[in-house]
C-alpha cells in the first residue's frame, strides 16, 4: 500500500491551454474524490466516483472541467482552456467505500500555475 | 450553507507547550469530523477521525474531542515539538458521500 499517488506534482501552463492530472488511489479503494485548494483556504470538493461512476459534482466544476475513472482504478481530471483563476492545488483522495463514516486518504496534490 | 470555522488562524508557541486548536461547525447532523495536518505545498495527512457517536479520539500526543450539541471540536497537542509546525485543518462530513467541508486551517509554529 503506497498511498494515493498524484502526477504531476507541479504543472505550469499558459492561459488557454488544456491540462490533465492523474490520480492513482490506494489499491482496492472504491471511492475517489477530487478537491481544489487555493492559497490560504481549505480544500473544496469538486467531484466523487464510486468505482467508475461519477456520482456527485460540485457547482465549482464548470463545463471546462471533466473527470473520468474509466476502469474504476486511476482517475484523470482535465481542465480545458485554462484561466488564471484555475491556479490552485488539486488534491485527490480515496476511501474504501465500506461506509460513509470512513476516513479519506489524500495524495500530495498537483500544484497548477496558469500564467 | 454548512460552514466550518477554525480559530485562531495562526498560533506560535515555544517548544514543550500544550496547546488547543479550535474548530466550530454549523451542521448539527454531522456523521464525523476529521483532523488533518498539511505541510507547506503538500497534501493532507489524516490525524484523527471522530464519529458522531464518539466524544474523543487519541493518537500519541494528539487528542481530539467532539461536542455535537455546541458544534465544536478541539485538537489538543501535548508537549509540542518543532516538528509539529504545520497547518491543521478540520473537516466535517455531513453524510454527502465524501463531500467534506473544510475550515481554512490554523497555522501552527512551534519555536525551539
pLDDT of residue A98: 72
DSSP state of A96: -
* A40 touches B: beta carbon within 8 Å: yes
* Average pLDDT score over residue span B91-96: 80
> Quick check: B73 and B90 in contact, CB under 8 A?
yes
At residue A1, does pLDDT exceed 60? no
* Average pLDDT score over residue span B9-36: 93
* A115 touches B: beta carbon within 8 Å: no
> Quick check: A55 and A105 in contact, CB under 8 A?
no
| pLDDT tens digits along B72-87 | 999 999 999 999 999 9
At residue B33, does pLDDT exceed 80? yes
CA dist., res. B48 & res. A106, Å (int)? 14
**Cβ–Cβ gap B98/A48 under 8 Å:** yes
pLDDT band for B2, please (50, 70, 90 cuts): confident
**Cβ–Cβ gap A106/B104 under 8 Å:** no
* A25 touches B: beta carbon within 8 Å: no
**Cβ–Cβ gap B102/A42 under 8 Å:** yes
> Closest Cα to residue B19, out of B98, B76, B57?
B76
The partner residue sitting opposite A41, judged by closest CB among B34, B96, B104, is B104
| pLDDT tens digits along A64-109 | 999 999 988 999 999 999 999 999 999 999 998 777 677 889 999 9
* A60 touches B: beta carbon within 8 Å: no
E strands present in A1-115: 5-7, 10-13, 19-24, 31-37, 44-50, 53-57, 65-68, 75-79, 88-95, 105-106, 110-114
pLDDT of residue B19: 95
pLDDT of residue A38: 94
Please list, in sequence order, all residues whose beta carbon lies within 8 angstroms of the beta carbon of residue B104, skipping any fewer than 6 positions away.
A40, A41, A42, B5, B6, B9, B89
pLDDT of residue A100: 66
pLDDT of residue A103: 83
**Cβ–Cβ gap A55/B97 under 8 Å:** yes
DSSP-derived pairing of the beta strands A10-13 and A110-114? parallel
Which residue would you say has higher pLDDT here, B104 or A56?
B104
CA dist., res. B14 & res. B40, Å (int)? 20
| pLDDT tens digits along A6-49 | 999 999 999 999 999 999 999 989 999 999 999 989 999 999 99
CA distance A24 to chain B (A): 14
**Cβ–Cβ gap A43/B42 under 8 Å:** no
Q: What spatial distance separates the first Cα and last Cα of chain B, rounded to whole Å?
A: 41
Amino acid at each position: 500500500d503506497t498511498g494515493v499517488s498524484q502526477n504531476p506534482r507541479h504543472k505550469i501552463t499558459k492561459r488557454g491551454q488544456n491540462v490533465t492530472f492523474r490520480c492513482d488511489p490506494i489499491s482496492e479503494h472504491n471511492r475517489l474524490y477530487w478537491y481544489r485548494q487555493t492559497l490560504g483556504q481549505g480544500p473544496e470538493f469538486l467531484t466523487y466516483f464510486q468505482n467508475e461512476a461519477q456520482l456527485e459534482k460540485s457547482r465549482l466544476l464548470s463545463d471546462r472541467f471533466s473527470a473520468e475513472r474509466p476502469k474504476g482504478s486511476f482517475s484523470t481530471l482535465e481542465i480545458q482552456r485554462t484561466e488564471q483563476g484555475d491556479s490552485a492545488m488539486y488534491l485527490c483522495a480515496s476511501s474504501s467505500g465500506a461506509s460513509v463514516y470512513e476516513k479519506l486518504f489524500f495524495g500530495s496534490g498537483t500544484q497548477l500555475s496558469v500564467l | 450553507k454548512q460552514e466550518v470555522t477554525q480559530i485562531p488562524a495562526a498560533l506560535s508557541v515555544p517548544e514543550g507547550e500544550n496547546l488547543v486548536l479550535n474548530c466550530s461547525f454549523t451542521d448539527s447532523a454531522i456523521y464525523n469530523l476529521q483532523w488533518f495536518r498539511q505541510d507547506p505545498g503538500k497534501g493532507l495527512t489524516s490525524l484523527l477521525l471522530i464519529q458522531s457517536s464518539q466524544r474523543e479520539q487519541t493518537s500519541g500526543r494528539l487528542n481530539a474531542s467532539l461536542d455535537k450539541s455546541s458544534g465544536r471540536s478541539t485538537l489538543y497537542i501535548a508537549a509540542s515539538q518543532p516538528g509539529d509546525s504545520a497547518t491543521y485543518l478540520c473537516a466535517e462530513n455531513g453524510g454527502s458521500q465524501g463531500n467534506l467541508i473544510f475550515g481554512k486551517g490554523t497555522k501552527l509554529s512551534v519555536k525551539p
